[in-house]
Structure 1
């Protein structure tokens, strides 16, 4: 092949690639314009709200929630602002490997964190002292990303080791703004039909997103699939949501693009993939021997075939991850409005 022919070949190939890229760009823009023309519609009401002060511990059901960029808070309880770690390896500890964590209840009042379980004497931590001591510890979270928190002291670490029945020493870390972190909430449109703006939000100790929501009917639909003689009852707490919406169809959240609740506005940017955490019974702290509800969800809630399935693999979808577009207060009973997408996910 001569030089001239090769040049024509390269130019032709570049034109084809450019044309394909332009085609998909135009389709994306058309979909974006079409979806944003959809008005907000009334979809239901808030039936439940939860704040999880300590990551993986029992959530606190609340009647109202102040929604900020890093998650919800109610009173002095801020969502996932405390993290349990292995004191030796500094790796974070969750119910995935230590399921009894879900039995630990937490409360924050008058700058004091209190942890309780049905079988143990409560332990308390003076948060003003924790801040004054400034004992910064860097933990290792998902993807070996590092994040620093303030050590809450030996007493609570020993208490956690006793409750979780482990020999290795544990520590509890307290999140404060300004400490070192390699983690963020990354909103991306990517491969699903969401049109989230490209944005990185600061987060405390959440896994992926500061908020997660689903329809109550999604849970009812899941439970309806079990045999009527089955003793399995899957509850809201199995899925650890921030917000539960009533009076809308099952899996309506698959189509949400944006939500308005009270004064707050949310960006529904990513379907929530589910894993082994859902198999931990929130009332017993034990993993389900039949790996439910994960096995049932895999029968009908896997991601669509294609790139999305390649990424999500065998992790079924239940709920939607959300970032915050506008801060505000939301309450149980508030009306919920959604801007819908034309296609799910």
Structure 2
């Protein structure tokens, strides 16, 4: 049995806003605690992301025991309750999923709309609003927050090193918005992993992550370039999609910490098969 190490742990409290680099974090039924429990929607209830609004990358997030704090250039910090309880329940849409969501506050809507120069609302996923994972890839009991489709995204350090070598660049891991980063394994080793254990938590890697234009957005400037999609189209393309990283589901709740041992329990053919 081969052992590697968890070297990075990232939480994104608000979908498509900047994330938090943590050393240790709780895992709940929907993934990392507070990960994508908040989301921005437009007036039709459709989720918003950096794909339409690159400036979302400039909004930083911070968590304390009682608050979520948002900060952005030229704006006063916005402090919000960590567990909103009051507010209107509205219907929101993430891709093909319809989800109940709790509207957070008019103050939050004004703050975000002003910075993005676009009408939007901030919503929260209540604990009783269950969003199931695509049954083609998951168990009936698997749940997810406002993430695109899966509770976790796993990328190895050497996969990024291999991609950077192909590009002759040094893009940071933040471009790819993983939850879990693994060190010590060869580049793209995660393509063949099917079941792994990190610390005391088991994971199923059921689907490779197809990539959109978001990694082309510099998280520090919100400027858009051509990489890494140009190179991914050359070296990681399969059936008209490009892939980088693996989506994952977890079998237990508990705690993850940087430095945890990663055990590879089951492997299979590379996904994607390239």
SS of structure 1 residue aligned to 2:237: coil
SS of structure 2 residue aligned to 1:201: coil
Deviation by residue 1:209-251 (Cα, 9 ceiling, x = unmatched): 0001011000001111124xxxx43111111001000111000
- Measured in 1, the distance between the counterparts of 2:208 and 2:260 equals 23
Matches within 5 A, 1:306-345: 309=239, 313=240, 315-345=241-271
Deviation at 1:106, TM superposition (A): 1.4
Deviation by residue 1:105-129 (Cα, 9 ceiling, x = unmatched): 112324322101243211122355x
Structure 1 outlier segments of 4+, above 3 Å: 197-200
- Measured in 2, the distance between the counterparts of 1:338 and 1:82 equals 32
Residue 257 to residue 163, structure 1, CA distance change in 2 (3 Å): same
Structure 1's unaligned 5+ residue stretches are 1-40, 190-196, 304-308
SS of structure 2 residue aligned to 1:45: strand
Contact 1:42 1:335 (8 Å CA) reproduced: no
- Measured in 2, the distance between the counterparts of 1:332 and 1:154 equals 37
Q: What is the aligned partner in structure 2 of residue 184 from structure 1?
A: 132
Q: Are 1:48 and 2:12 matched, yes or no?
A: no
SS of structure 1 residue aligned to 2:190: helix
Q: Could you say which structure has the higher helix fraction?
A: 1
SS of structure 2 residue aligned to 1:120: coil
SS of structure 2 residue aligned to 1:225: helix
Q: What is the aligned partner in structure 2 of residue 84 from structure 1?
A: 40
SS of structure 1 residue aligned to 2:167: coil
Residue 186 to residue 217, structure 1, CA distance change in 2 (3 Å): same
Q: What is the aligned partner in structure 1 of residue 234 from structure 2?
A: 299
Give the structure-1-normalised TM-score.
0.75
SS of structure 2 residue aligned to 1:185: coil
Deviation at 1:187, TM superposition (A): 5.0
Q: What is the aligned partner in structure 1 of residue 49 from structure 2?
A: 94
- Measured in 1, the distance between the counterparts of 2:45 and 2:253 equals 33
Residue 217 to residue 150, structure 1, CA distance change in 2 (3 Å): same
SS of structure 2 residue aligned to 1:205: coil
Deviation at 1:200, TM superposition (A): 5.2
Residue-pair matches, total: 271
- Measured in 2, the distance between the counterparts of 1:127 and 1:324 equals 24
Structure 2's unaligned 5+ residue stretches are none
Deviation at 1:343, TM superposition (A): 1.5
Q: Of 221, 235, 254, which residue of structure 2 is paired with 1:284?
A: 221
- Measured in 2, the distance between the counterparts of 1:49 and 1:127 equals 20
SS of structure 2 residue aligned to 1:217: helix
**Bigger CA radius of gyration:** 1
- Measured in 2, the distance between the counterparts of 1:220 and 1:277 equals 19
